[in-house]
């Protein structure tokens, strides 16, 4: 049965339809129809009555952070089934790759009642677990009606989101009370929830699960494949600029151009954040006359040149590519629009990393990493390219300083690990899952 929220969503989609139509045309997706109708949902095997945990991650980042949680959840609760949903195409692709062998996997595209009911009916979950803080009002409402508890893991809230909720306290209380348990990354998130009326006993600061998924393993097969395709001479430094925004790339390429004059063996691995920006990044490199290798095609531009730049225009390979790095830059942090990306993965590899000042999405993590001496902030004023080049040049000219900073970063990550165990323990403490002993006895 439809709900008034469905009408509001439909009106929103209608208002945005020219934009959605353009996105569908330009990206080759039937996005508008999928948003409205939803996707098919695979049913559970006939006769399967085991309890099922429904995990949801919106995009690629959330799906990746679910991996260690789901692995540990299976080990702790072998009698449970697992269902995984994602929203974005990249997230869905990664979910299929990671979980389809032993889990139900479906695409959850929008918060329409009929889409949510389809999954609830097909899976009959006993528990819903949302990664980070994507709260879907219809989903929460229907879960409450069916008596299915909802938990948020790895919860975080940017200052902008916190301020937006604070301006609508009545709405916030109505929605947030539908979440049974919150496992959050830091005390600031716990404080935001308390100010919005969430009971203290429903909240636990568990830290970030992303630390547990950051292995810093330089023997990965994917890393070996990257080295084979993009060979680097012994001793040549590699600068990995990861999760970059289009507005940042001119500064990065300007900085690389000046650095190359001083460090002619320097290699650059450029990793745009958004897949639909890959072509623009390739065009920018061609226009500047910079020889580069395109990872997805294995093609060198221009043909016959010796590329010192790798354009990593693939999905899900940045986590391994950090293993190539001598030094690193984490994007989304210079222009004040994105709020930064996670610096955890390069830190786990022991890579000295820099980022701009706009890192509110990971405010506590970046502050702690800076305090540990494992990172550096690039000023986003004046000549940003020169600021960026100066930081990288300092590390390249003084390898011992870079090594010390990288070691501090690695030790910081190791010290923060354990959020997965704390998360699963709180789920049990809240009565959402049985104790491991009960699982063994039941099996």
pLDDT surpasses 70 at 439: no
Question: pLDDT class for 332, splitting at 50, 70, 90?
Answer: very high
pLDDT surpasses 60 at 1: no
Question: pLDDT class for 436, splitting at 50, 70, 90?
Answer: confident
Q: If residue 181 lies in a helix (H) or strand (E), which one and from where to where?
A: strand 181-184
CA distance 323 to 229: 14
If you average pLDDT over residues 331-354, what whole number do you get? 95
CA distance 311 to 277: 11
Retrieve residue 242's tokens: 């990861």
pTM above 0.75, yes or no: yes
The side-by-side arrangement of strands in the sheet containing 238-244 is 299-301, 292-294, 309-311, 267-272, 238-244, 327-330, 353-355, 375-377
Question: pLDDT class for 3, splitting at 50, 70, 90?
Answer: low
CA distance 141 to 372: 42
Question: 245-286 pLDDT, tens per residue?
Answer: 999 999 999 999 999 999 999 999 999 999 889 999 999 999
- Least confident stretch, 16-30, 121-135, 305-319: 16-30
If you average pLDDT over residues 284-299, what whole number do you get? 96
If you average pLDDT over residues 198-211, what whole number do you get? 95
> Helix %, strand %, coil % for the chain, to 5?
50, 15, 35
Question: pLDDT class for 364, splitting at 50, 70, 90?
Answer: confident
pLDDT surpasses 70 at 406: yes
pLDDT score recorded for residue 133: 78
Q: Which residue did the predictor score with more confidence, 345 or 137?
A: 345
Share of the chain above pLDDT 70, in %: 90
247 to each of 101, 188, 252, 273, 425, how far by Cα in Å?
39, 30, 10, 11, 42
pLDDT surpasses 60 at 7: no
pLDDT score recorded for residue 440: 53
∠ CA 148-154-160, rounded to 5°: 105
If you average pLDDT over residues 415-431, what whole number do you get? 97
pLDDT score recorded for residue 2: 54
pLDDT score recorded for residue 442: 47
Q: Which residue did the predictor score with more confidence, 22 or 229?
A: 229
CA distance 352 to 48: 49
> Helix H segments across 100-234?
113-123, 137-146, 159-166, 169-176, 187-195, 210-213, 221-229
Share of the chain above pLDDT 90, in %: 69
- Non-local (6+) Cβ contacts of 264 within 8 A are none
CA distance 101 to 115: 24
Question: pLDDT class for 336, splitting at 50, 70, 90?
Answer: confident
What the chain holds in terms of domains, given with CATH numbers, is 51-207+418-436 (3.40.50.2000), 221-416 (3.40.50.2000)
Q: Is 332 left (phi over 0), alpha (psi -120 to 50) or beta?
A: left
How far separated are the first and last CA of the chain, in Å rounded?
38
For residues 137-150, one letter each, b for 16 or more C-beta atoms within 10 angstroms of the residue's C-beta and e for the rest, the string is bbbbbbbeeeebbb
pLDDT score recorded for residue 438: 62
State the pairing for strand pair 203-205/238-244: unpaired
């Amino acid at each position: 049965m439809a709900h008034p929220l469905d009408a509001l969503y439909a009106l929103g989609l209608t208002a945005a339809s020219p934009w959605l139509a353009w996105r569908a045309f330009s990206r080759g997706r039937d996005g508008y129809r999928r948003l409205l109708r939803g996707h098919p949902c695979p049913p559970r095997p006939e006769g399967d009555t085991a309890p099922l945990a429904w995990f949801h991650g919106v995009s690629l980042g959330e799906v990746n952070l679910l991996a260690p949680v789901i692995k540990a959840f299976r080990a702790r609760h072998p009698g449970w089934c697992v269902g995984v949903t994602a929203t974005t195409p990249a997230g869905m692709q990664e979910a299929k790759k990671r979980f389809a062998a032993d889990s139900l996997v479906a695409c959850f595209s929008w918060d329409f009642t009929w889409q949510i009911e389809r999954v609830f009916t097909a899976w009959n979950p006993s528990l819903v677990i949302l990664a980070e803080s994507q709260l879907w009002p219809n989903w929460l409402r229907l879960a409450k009606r069916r008596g299915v508890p909802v938990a948020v893991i790895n919860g975080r809230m940017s200052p902008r989101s916190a301020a937006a909720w604070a301006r609508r306290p009545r709405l916030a209380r109505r929605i947030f009370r539908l979440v049974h348990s919150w496992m959050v990354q830091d005390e600031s998130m716990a404080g935001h929830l308390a100010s919005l009326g969430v009971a203290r006993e429903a909240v636990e600061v568990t830290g970030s699960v992303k630390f547990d998924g950051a292995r810093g393993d330089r023997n990965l097969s994917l890393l070996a494949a990257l080295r084979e395709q993009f060979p680097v001479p012994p001793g040549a430094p590699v600068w990995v600029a990861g999760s970059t925004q289009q507005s940042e790339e001119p500064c990065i390429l300007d900085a690389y151009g000046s650095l190359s004059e001083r460090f002619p063996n320097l290699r650059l691995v450029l990793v745009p954040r958004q897949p639909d920006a890959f072509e623009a990044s390739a065009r920018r490199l061609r226009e500047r006359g910079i020889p580069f290798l395109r990872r997805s095609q294995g093609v060198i531009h221009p043909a016959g040149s010796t590329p010192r730049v790798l354009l990593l225009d693939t999905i899900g390979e940045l986590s391994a590519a950090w293993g190539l790095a001598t030094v690193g830059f984490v994007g989304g942090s210079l222009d004040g629009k994105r709020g930064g990306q996670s610096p955890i993965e390069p830190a786990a590899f022991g890579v000295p990393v820099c980022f701009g000042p706009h890192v509110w999405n990971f405010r506590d993590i970046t502050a702690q990493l800076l305090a540990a001496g494992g990172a550096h902030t690039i000023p986003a004023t004046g000549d940003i390219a020169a600021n960026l080049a100066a930081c990288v040049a300092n590390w390249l000219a003084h390898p011992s300083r870079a090594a010390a900073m990288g070691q501090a970063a690695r030790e910081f990550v190791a010290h923060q690990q354990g959020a997965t165990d704390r998360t699963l323990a709180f789920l049990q403490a809240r009565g959402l899952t049985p104790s491991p002993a009960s699982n063994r006895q039941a099996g």
